[in-house]
Chains A and B, each alone.
Chain A
Amino acid sequence: MPAIKRNPKAPRQMPPEVAPEVRVQGAVEVAGGFTDDQARVESLRCLDCKDPKCVEACPLHIDIKSFILNLAQGDVEGAFNKISERSPFPGICGRVCQHELFCENACLLGKKLDPVAIGSLERFCSDHHRQFNGKAPVVKANPTGPKIAMVGSGPASLMASFVLAQRNYRVTVFEALHRLGGVLIYGVPPFRLPREILNTEIARLESMGVKFETDVIVGNSVSLEELFNEEGFEAVFLGTGAGLPFMLNVPGENLIGVYTANEYLTRINLMHANEFPSEDTPVNIGKCTVVIGGGNSAMDAARWSKRLGADTTILFRRGRAELRARAEEIEHAEQEGIKFEFLGAPVALYGDENGWLNEMECIRMKLGEPDSSGRPSPVPIEGSNYRIPVDTVIAAVGQAPNPTLQRTTPQLITNRGKIVVDVNRQTNMNNVFAGGDVVRGGSTVILAMSDGLAAADAIDKALKSQKEEAVGAQA
């Protein structure tokens, strides 16, 4: 083993980025990966802590300390294998996980200097592995056990599938849309998460024996009862997400040119409207777009709008410090020439005689007392209304749980649409578990994945104890 010469004082390595004026021309991935040298320098910054806070803070408890040690020793494949013990999705997480809130927030080095760039190192391992051996299973599986159904193919279900397949359950994922990945396919743009990465990491599950059925809406196409009684599933995990978009609730919101971020992003990310007419689905791109909101959806919609040629402004009712998107996304949006207008909100939208949006009325806000989210509440300033010309408004003002399953399964207990679960992620229905955004409301990829992990554990335990009881009863 070569001697390791740690150097925590080296500057935190910055991954290369495509220049803003180049990347706004298309869908090219914005952030590049570390070079071999950068990965080595960055890995040598790690202090190899006795009590690694990073591992505890990662919701999946990836053995960060060990994989970085592998990297420092030049063993990239070993690092990848270490990550794979906990997660088959390092390419996804290395790109979209809000690591500044989790592992990097806890990193000891960050107390004095910049934290270790854990997310970028995770991505480095996955990119390295993918070049050689992408779709192969990262963990062996022999699916011969009881059948488990996943509803939805977002991060929560994908992670639950991995854990259960690893324990030899026969897993089938049912997805309402025609593509897999949940928000990762219809919401997150390819310039943040190239589809090749998403597809390769999902294919890893396939090679572990996980089955995928697209175009199936559980509740509509098949009921939960039928899954249990006719199709032989012994447990079900509901990972149906929070896709139902909130509307603006201002006059004029049904004018042509007013989109929800979900519709706008779905048309482009899922249906490839950016390639119209070679792809059939259109989207209207105007000259002047205002995106309303301050989260990931707002950033993604604004960045697509800019790429498709519109002058784009993000209108947010609070200040910059209250933006909820990943820090990196906000910076990237600023670099790309997206304007930010803080402390403003829409009050009405106006259109022409054919119903096309052409003007918007806004009101200025000031920050008041903290609200339930802990952030200063926006307070409208009386008489500060102003009007601006605009032809596209994209509402990215939050979302509620997807409605289909709840509508068709009235016996499921919910609270304002969110499925209610106990500490084991079990719903009020026997052997029906749930996690991710459908339980939390909007959250993050990594928390959805950690719910999937916890639910998979609970499913495993529940089925094993039910089996023991059944055996006990026979004896």
Chain B
Amino acid sequence: MNKIVRKQQLTPETALFEVEAPRIAKRWKPGQFIIVRPNDSSERIPLTLVDGNKERGTITIVVQRIGKTSSVVVATPAEGAFHDVVGPLGEPAHITKVGRVTLLAGGVGVAEVLPVAKAFKEAGNYTVVLAGARTDSLRILREELIAVADEVIWATDDGSFGFSGNVVQLLLETVKSTGIKPDLSHVIGPIPMMRAAAKATMELGIKTYASVNPVMIDGTGMCGGCRVTVGGKVRFACVEGPEFDAHEVDFDELSRRTKAYRKQEVQAYESHKCTLGLQPA
């Protein structure tokens, strides 16, 4: 059992949790993740480490509700606890000093990019975060982003704040208008966005890392469920990733594989909503 010490609802769908996990807090590095089972019949779901505090012995995660288990996590009360928390998992992000680093983040990826952006800045890079949200009211962690990056530029799908469009369009636009090309880029978010970012940065000739999100179970390299094809080779994202060269990831396959349980996911979510007394969608 891992006790929650702080919960902050960021949007109706997204919540931040600070959780007791002293071992993880001590050893985590940006880019790594944990696996959480909110209760004893839950799935094991991977969540990125957004922060960790050695002294307090706590870690921070930000979770977006998209299916049953993430809903159970988001609904866990501030005085509650998670049944299981294990980590840190995966390889840390590739942090090097290259000059100018642009980080593209969409949706809950905005939270996941925080520690990576911070680490790049601390390594002496000029960091620009291109952060995306569907609409103005869903922009999360605005102050936190400003604190860890040299520049933060927002894009909203509906144009209600900042650039109108997605972060990949924003990247193309900024490169075109300023004539400045980043030395390195990092992308985290929904698969379509990462695929588009990979394509754009490939064309621009910018080395890019993507943090991929396949379905996982154990997170220790024991099942192979998380396999992704990178540069024609099968890799286990939970131990060799989650970060890979974006230009080598087979995003089409990744996207298909994440839909393997679509039918069951809908079934689980609908019956979960019924037990919560919510309207089935």
Residues of chain A having any CB pair with chain B under 8 Å: 176-178, 186, 214-217, 220-223, 243-245, 247, 253-254, 256, 259-260, 262-263, 266-267, 271-272, 276-282, 284, 354-355, 402-404, 407
Q: Which residues of A contact B260 (CB under 8 A)?
A: 256, 284
Task: Evaluate whether A279 and B224 lie within 8 angstroms (CB atoms) in the complex, with A215-B86, A253-B234 already known.
Answer: no
Q: Is the CB of A220 within 8 A of B87?
A: yes
The verdict on B222 contacting chain A, using a C-beta distance below 8 Å, is: yes
Q: Is the CB of B87 within 8 A of A221?
A: yes
Pick the contact of B224: A177, A178, A215, A263 (CB < 8 A).
A263
Q: Is the CB of B267 within 8 A of A403?
A: no
Give the complex CA separation of A244 and B240 in angstroms. 13
Least Cβ–Cβ distance between A247 and chain B, in angstroms: 6
Q: What are 10 A-B contacts defined by CB distance under 8 Å?
A: A178-B86, A216-B23, A221-B86, A221-B87, A243-B222, A254-B257, A256-B259, A256-B260, A271-B43, A355-B253
Give the complex CA separation of A277 and B225 in angstroms. 20
Pick the contact of B44: A263, A271, A407 (CB < 8 A).
A271
Pick the contact of B222: A221, A266, A355 (CB < 8 A).
A266
User: Which residues of chain B from 238 to 254 have any CB-CB distance to chain A below 8 Å in the complex?
Assistant: 239, 253
Question: How many interface contacts (CB-CB < 8 Å) are there between A and B?
Answer: 113
Give the complex CA separation of A464 and B175 in angstroms. 68
Tell which of A178, A244, A262, A271 has the most Cβ of chain B within 10 Å.
Answer: A178
The verdict on B256 contacting chain A, using a C-beta distance below 8 Å, is: yes
Q: Is the CB of B87 within 8 A of A244?
A: no
Q: Which residues of A contact B225 (CB under 8 A)?
A: 259-260, 263
Q: Is the CB of A282 within 8 A of B259?
A: no
The verdict on B88 contacting chain A, using a C-beta distance below 8 Å, is: yes
Task: Evaluate whether A280 and B220 lie within 8 angstroms (CB atoms) in the complex, with A215-B84, A221-B23 already known.
Answer: no
Q: Which residues of A contact B138 (CB under 8 A)?
A: none
Give the complex CA separation of A321 and B41 in angstroms. 41
Give the complex CA separation of A355 and B253 in angstroms. 8
Q: Which residues of B contact A271 (CB under 8 A)?
A: 43-44, 217
Give the complex CA separation of A177 and B264 in angstroms. 24
Least Cβ–Cβ distance between B42 and chain A, in angstroms: 5
The verdict on B271 contacting chain A, using a C-beta distance below 8 Å, is: yes
Closest to B69 in A: A280
Closest to A216 in B: B23
Q: Is the CB of A256 within 8 A of B256?
A: yes
The verdict on B89 contacting chain A, using a C-beta distance below 8 Å, is: yes
Give the complex CA separation of A279 and B68 in angstroms. 11
Q: Is the CB of A220 within 8 A of B223?
A: no
Q: Is the CB of B261 within 8 A of A217?
A: no
Q: Is the CB of B43 within 8 A of A280?
A: yes
Q: Which residues of A contact B271 (CB under 8 A)?
A: 277
Q: Which residues of A contact B239 (CB under 8 A)?
A: 403-404, 407
Tell which of B42, B220, B257, B260 has the most Cβ of chain A within 10 Å.
Answer: B220
Task: Evaluate whether A178 and B27 lie within 8 angstroms (CB atoms) in the complex, with A247-B224, A404-B221 already known.
Answer: no
Pick the contact of B86: A176, A243, A244, A272 (CB < 8 A).
A176
Least Cβ–Cβ distance between B12 and chain A, in angstroms: 22
Least Cβ–Cβ distance between B110 and chain A, in angstroms: 26
The verdict on B186 contacting chain A, using a C-beta distance below 8 Å, is: no
Q: Is the CB of B84 within 8 A of A178?
A: yes
The verdict on B37 contacting chain A, using a C-beta distance below 8 Å, is: yes
The verdict on B157 contacting chain A, using a C-beta distance below 8 Å, is: no
Give the complex CA separation of A280 and B67 in angstroms. 11
Task: Evaluate whether A214 and B84 lie within 8 angstroms (CB atoms) in the complex, with A222-B23, A254-B229, A282-B268 already known.
Answer: yes
Task: Evaluate whether A221 and B24 lie within 8 angstroms (CB atoms) in the complex, with A178-B86, A215-B86, A263-B217 already known.
Answer: yes
Q: Which residues of A contact B264 (CB under 8 A)?
A: 276-277, 282
Give the complex CA separation of A197 and B277 in angstroms. 39
10 pairs of A and B residues whose beta carbons are closest in the complex: A355-B256, A282-B264, A263-B223, A243-B222, A215-B86, A260-B224, A280-B43, A256-B260, A221-B23, A178-B84
Give the complex CA separation of A176 and B219 in angstroms. 9
Give the complex CA separation of A455 and B158 in angstroms. 64
Q: Is the CB of B89 within 8 A of A282?
A: no
B37-70 to A contact mask, C-beta < 8 Å, 1/0: 1000111100000000000000000000000110
Least Cβ–Cβ distance between A352 and chain B, in angstroms: 10
B197-220 to A contact mask, C-beta < 8 Å, 1/0: 000000000000000000001101
Task: Evaluate whether A217 and B86 lie within 8 angstroms (CB atoms) in the complex, with A256-B257, A263-B225, A276-B264 already known.
Answer: yes
Q: Is the CB of B220 within 8 A of A217?
A: yes
Q: Is the CB of B41 within 8 A of A402?
A: no
Q: Which residues of B contact A260 (CB under 8 A)?
A: 223-225
Least Cβ–Cβ distance between B91 and chain A, in angstroms: 9
Least Cβ–Cβ distance between B207 and chain A, in angstroms: 24
Q: Is the CB of A277 within 8 A of B268?
A: yes
Q: Which residues of B contact A272 (CB under 8 A)?
A: 41
The verdict on B85 contacting chain A, using a C-beta distance below 8 Å, is: yes
Least Cβ–Cβ distance between B35 and chain A, in angstroms: 9
Q: Is the CB of A245 within 8 A of B69?
A: no
Q: Is the CB of B84 within 8 A of A262?
A: no
Least Cβ–Cβ distance between A216 and chain B, in angstroms: 7
Q: Is the CB of A220 within 8 A of B222?
A: no
User: Which residues of chain B from 76 to 104 have any CB-CB distance to chain A below 8 Å in the complex?
Assistant: 83-89
Q: Is the CB of B218 within 8 A of A254?
A: no
Least Cβ–Cβ distance between A195 and chain B, in angstroms: 14
The verdict on B227 contacting chain A, using a C-beta distance below 8 Å, is: yes
B253-280 to A contact mask, C-beta < 8 Å, 1/0: 1001101110011011001000000000
